[in-house]
Amino acid sequence: MKILLLGLGRANTPLAEYLTEKNHIVYYYEEHSDFIPRRAQDLINQHRIIPYKDEQCDIVVSSPGFSEDNRFIKALKAKKFDIIDEIEFTYNLLNKPTVIAVTGTNGKSTTVTLISHILKSAGINNFLGGNIAPGRPFSHSLFEPPYKYYCLEVSSFQLTRIKKFKPHIAVITNITDDHLNWHHNLDEYINAKFRILMNQNPDDFAVLNYDDKRVREFASRSRSNTVFFGTNAHNGIWFHTSFYHQEEKLFSVKDLPLKGKHNLMNIAAAIAVTRILDIPVGRIETALKTFKSLPHRLEEIGVIDGVRYINNSMCTNEAAAIASFNAIPGNKIVIVGGKHKGSRGKEYLKLLVENAKACIILGENADFIKEFFESQKYKNFRIAHSMKNAVELARTFAAKDDTILLNPGYASFDYFKDFEERGEAFKNAVQGN
């Protein structure tokens, strides 16, 4: 079989390794040669994968970085090439494994990791991966023995190119404006998320956020069993001071390590999934109490001279920024800014004007944020030229018991390779490295 890989990033590189081991002919096309991983470069140097010229291929596997507007994608479609995503290709190679898939604008990574952690704590072997970062792409599982469950984070980009991919349990955490630089409009983005349900049947489950009107309405279009979660989901998993399954009290929220309403929503979704799988309530509670937050997601860096430092670099859109800001008590000095993904984020900026002790602007959109702050008569801000400088400026505003919070609200692709690099830069600056 002849296969063309578009992009040699974290997902397609394991595919390239696997396919060449199976003696398939593998072509590649890469528009960002500076980002080719060493493993992929070795395959190129060994001539195990071949630069694409104009060969006829059986399948094209595209990385999420190639949007539908990409000129090369359009050229391939004009030639009637079949273009799919790595999750679709891997799913077919594994012969339709039992998948638990999580999508949504925010909370995907935390929710899918919670599910995997609960299953592991209950002694159930499962693969955790997909779009989650840091983490392993789905294709990495091709090199490993079969798992009972495959817990996957999937993005709207990936879902756009699925055909047969069918999760046994599909979770949609929420939908807010995001990635409108990739999708043409909000409706297209919403429809991409719905595709996670499109191949399900009455033996499958859709776990949906009842509090989110856009997500709740998917229930009427789904062929699978609907299980709701949320603060008002009294026919599913809901919470106040405790979690409940319908009218049955499960356990209190107070001793759980994850804080903030948005994290309680993530936990509720994870409870819904693991109850579908008949995990005992006691095991779920025990697992949740041992869960540690993921890197770059309200990650506690430490306290220095009485000032608390929190790394929330993963916060790349307005809804996540607002939820995270509200989850942290006390006075906050916020490092904000980055690259727009369609939304300008004015509601988040308004929240900062009204509630942040001070703001340090770092990002491509610094002039836009500066002009907004000035239009609101907000004066407690400075513009930084590097992450180290941002932390230095934040410290000039901080007093004992304050929090310096990296809560950008925008993408990282202006000054950084990704949100992980941005978060590491913040941690290094805090620690004086």
pLDDT 10s digits, 285-331:
999 999 988 899 999 999 999 999 999 999 999 989 999 999 999 99
Q: What is the pLDDT of residue 186?
A: 87
Cβ–Cβ < 8 Å for 266, 297: no
Kind plus residue range of the DSSP H or E element containing 284: helix 281-289
pLDDT 10s digits, 53-63:
999 999 999 99
Interatomic CA distance for residues 5 and 219, integer angstroms: 35
Average pLDDT over residues 142-159: 97
Q: 184: pLDDT confidence band, cut at 50, 70 and 90?
A: low
Mark residue 237 as left, alpha or beta (left: phi above 0; alpha: psi -120 to 50; beta: remaining): beta
The SS3 of residue 361 is: strand
Beta strands in 185-331 (DSSP E): 205-209, 225-229, 237-239, 242-245, 248-252, 299-304, 307-311
Higher-confidence residue of 183 and 94: namely: 94
Max intra-chain CA distance, the chain: 65
Q: 345: pLDDT confidence band, cut at 50, 70 and 90?
A: confident
Higher-confidence residue of 10 and 307: namely: 307
Q: What is the pLDDT of residue 364?
A: 95
pLDDT 10s digits, 214-251:
999 999 999 999 999 999 998 899 999 999 999 999 99
Cβ–Cβ < 8 Å for 296, 312: yes
For the chain, list the domains and their CATH numbers: 2-81 (3.40.50.720), 88-289 (3.40.1190.10), 299-430 (3.90.190.20)
pLDDT 10s digits, 373-414:
999 999 999 999 999 999 999 999 999 999 999 999 999 988
DSSP 142: G
Given a cut of 80, whether residue 343 has pLDDT beyond it is no
Given a cut of 60, whether residue 183 has pLDDT beyond it is no
- The partner residues of 424 in beta bridges, in order of sequence, read none
Q: In this structure, what token pair is assigned to residue 23?
A: 């003696």
Single pTM value for the model: 0.91
